[in-house]
Amino acid sequence: MSTSLEPVRPIELAQIRAARERIANTIVRTPLIRLQLGPEYPDIRLKLENLQPINAYKLRGAANAVALLSKSERERGVWTISAGNAGQGVAYAARAAGVPCVVVVVETAPKSKLERMKTLGAKLIPVPYEIAWKALDERSFPGVDGTFIHPFDDDNFIAGHGTMGLEILEDAPDAAAVIASIGGGGLITGVGSAIKALKPQVKIFGVEPETATPAALSFEKGSPQVFPNWKASFVDGAGGQSMFPRMWERMRPVVDGCLVVTLEETKNAMRFLAEKARIISEGAGALPLAAALTGKAGKGPVVAIVSGGNIDLKKFCELIAQENSSER
């Protein structure tokens, strides 16, 4: 099916601004707050996308993509592939539009994400991670019909995420760097497209967990790479088995590099968010703070995007209670 795809093209600022108007009544304009730390730390600001109605940023892209479907596409229903947050976003937007929704979901997704998708009316088809990743590449899954909404390689999805970049510059015009987790790459491409169009001097950094770093490897090698040592972890919404060539093409012009953090640093960031700001973050949502705390993105101001807070509370409590452990 890839031969029928439109060529990759830049996400224009006009598209992002149009998306902002289109989704204004669906999403929340989330706050951007300063993390109060001592002088030994970088100046860090938090973009709280965990406060979206689905507790994750994916609603931005999903709302824009669903809003732009034609009448015939809506009648066919929609489906997507997700580890949880994209599925929630598409299900939320589809329910609001009266459109049936199917989600091919990674079977190890947290129960909180699975239950939320069911509550939103989505039909779930659980599959192993490897099968889901293969289906993303092929854009098809046996027995599933309807209009496919790709959770990251989709211009409308990316433009929706770009609206976050507009908000960041409005609320932190002095930002020197922005850090976003990389899963498929849609978030950082959207945010980077908006920010680089308005303030190209702002550095845009991705971040991945040490167990899944295809983007970091791709930046190191200068071409899209497969990460051979992928391991599942509690960071289910970031990292991957490979960098899709189309997403690499999208990211290169608007992303300055990709940082890598350990699982221990990620758990410490989750604990930091809970203790310092009373924020519940999932693993992927804490990665940018973990990266900012290393100082590798500079002294700041650094905006760390808390991309989501969808994590089972029991698991969250277990993770932030563990100190100096190697739990995956």
Instruction: Evaluate if residue 157 carries a pLDDT over 80.
Output: yes
pLDDT tens digits along 218-263: 999 999 999 998 898 999 889 888 999 999 999 999 999 999 999 9
Q: Which two tokens stand for residue 105?
A: 């979901």
Lowest-pLDDT range of 199-213, 231-245, 295-309: 231-245
Q: Say whether pLDDT at 3 is over 70.
A: no
Q: Which stretch of 131-135, 202-206, 209-213 has the lowest confidence by average pLDDT?
A: 131-135
Residue 101, CB-side half-sphere exposure with 13 Å CA sphere: 28
Phi first, then psi, for residue 241 (nearest 5°) are: -90, -20
Read off the pLDDT of each residue in 277-289 and give the average, rounded to a whole number: 96
Q: For position 323, what pLDDT does the model report?
A: 62
- Report in angstroms the alpha-carbon separations of 305 from 106, 144, 178: 24, 33, 8
Mean pLDDT of the chain: 92
Q: What is the pLDDT of residues 169-189, one digit of tens each?
A: 999 999 999 999 999 999 999
- High-pLDDT (> 90) share of the chain, %: 80
Crossing angle of helices 186-198 and 155-171, rounded to 10°: 50
State the pLDDT at residue 224: 96
- Kindly report, residue by residue over 73-98, the tens digit of the pLDDT: 999 999 999 877 889 999 999 999 89
How would you label 273-292 residue by residue, b for 16+ Cβ within 10 Å and e otherwise? bbeebebbbbbbbbbbbbbb
Report pLDDT for 159. 97
Please give the CATH architecture assigned to the domain spanning 2-56+155-321. Answer: 3-Layer(aba) Sandwich (3.40)
The structure tokens listed for 323 are: 């100190």
The residue with greater pLDDT, 113 or 307, is: 307
Instruction: Please tell me the predicted confidence (pLDDT) of residue 322.
Output: 66
Mean pLDDT of 35-57: 94
Where are the domain boundaries for CATH 3.40.50.1100 in the chain? 2-56+155-321, 59-148
Protein fold of 59-148: Rossmann fold (3.40.50)
